[in-house]
Amino acid sequence: MSIRPYRDIERRKTKVINVGNVKVGGDNPISVQSMTNTLTTNVKSTIKQIIEIQEEGADIVRVSCPDEASSKALKEITKHVDIPIVADIHFHYKRAIEAAENGASCLRINPGNIGSKDKIKEVIKAAKNNHCSIRVGVNAGSLEKDILEKFKEPCPEALVQSAQRNIQILEDEDFLDLKVSVKSSDVFLSIAAYRQLSKVTDYPLHLGITEAGGFVPGSVKSSIGLGSLLLDGIGDTIRISLSDNPVEEVKIGNEILKSLNLRSRGVRIISCPSCARQGFKVIETVKILEQKLSHIKTPITLSIIGCVVNGPGEAAMTDVGITGGQKGNNMLYLSGVQTKKVMTEDMITRVVSEVEKKASEIENN
């Protein structure tokens, strides 16, 4: 059972590219990305973090390759993970070639800062030979000098012109397996740039508010920026940029997509903020259930409501529901139907059991 969305989002039609075994663009699910913050040369730590990011629900992971040792470390890293790796490259064309040859599924570059046309050709050749896609990554903080001189400051038009210039460089070499981003730390600038870019290209777009900040402010900024674009049908893959554990980026990314009914993964908890009417400690209960149900990957809806004001109505629209009652007698709902009373001390165990049972039923059907 799931809540019927008030309206469906009509996604902008884009080309489809491959990032390893993940298809990006078209009608494919919007993928969630994150980036490691370990030293890439510390292979063991990097592999560990990639696995943690993947287990949280990421589809793609980006790894920084600032030097030769890092790009060559990808050869060992990619042996031990089964998620596509994007190599983050800046300036030096040889790092891009090494990354492609050592297992990267995608190269994040700005062709315009790679160097001469001959160097760009070598990077494209390596990408083609190793089945690598490319992300043209434009950032408001690193625009080309002549574009900044023309527009005087980072603005939507400047970001889009930079993107178009870099796209053209690749197209001139008959390389079309690419996606594009026009990121800024400013929400309004990012939204305007992506909206403009979506009107002039049909390549898949990678969304992000770059350098968004710490967990709370960064999550809020990213939710506003990416949510606005996704509501417009813009965006094929997303990354939340937080000064925090990369795992948290994946959590927020998946929650944004779940809130817009663009993707379902795991348990979606609908819960009240709690008040004096609550029949049990809602906030503590939700925190415990989030932890105990984190292993569930099947889409399940769960309502945890502290009293009977909104509880029965919410429970009628979820797979499993609990509504708080008097003296610790809480009502359990299954598939929207009132079932039986559950005492508060038994409630968490019962809810976990019912959610796991529901997930198993869905998986086996």
DSSP 11-31: PPP---EEETTEEESTTSPPE
How many Å apart are CA 93 and CA 318, to the nearest integer?
A: 52
Q: Give the DSSP per-residue string, 154-189.
A: --HHHHHHHHHHHHHHHHHTT---EEEEEE-SSHHH
Q: How far, CA to CA in Å, does 358 sit from each of 272, 319, 335?
A: 22, 8, 9
pLDDT at 115: 75
- Which distant-in-sequence residues (6+ apart) come within 8 Å of 93 by Cβ? 114, 115, 119, 120, 122, 123
pLDDT at 7: 65
pLDDT at 5: 54
Residue ranges covered by each domain of the chain: 17-259, 267-364
- Strands 60-64 and 31-35, sheet pairing: parallel
How many other C-beta atoms lie within 10 A of the C-beta of residue 270?
17
Q: Which helix (H) or strand (E) holds 134?
A: strand 133-139
pLDDT at 365: 82
> Quick check: 50 and 74 in contact, CB under 8 A?
no
Q: Hey, what's the torsion of the CAs at 150, 222, 38, 69, to 10 degrees?
A: -30
Assess if CATH 3.30.413.10 describes domain 267-364: yes
> Quick check: 43 and 30 in contact, CB under 8 A?
no
Nearest residue to 77 (alpha-carbon basis) of 104, 52, 108, 53: 104
- Whether this model's pTM surpasses 0.85: yes
> Quick check: 250 and 56 in contact, CB under 8 A?
yes
pLDDT at 6: 56
Q: What is the DSSP letter of 51?
A: H
In the chain, which stretches have pLDDT less than 50? Answer: none
pLDDT at 113: 75
pLDDT at 14: 97
Assess if CATH 3.20.20.20 describes domain 17-259: yes
Same fold, 17-259 and 267-364: no
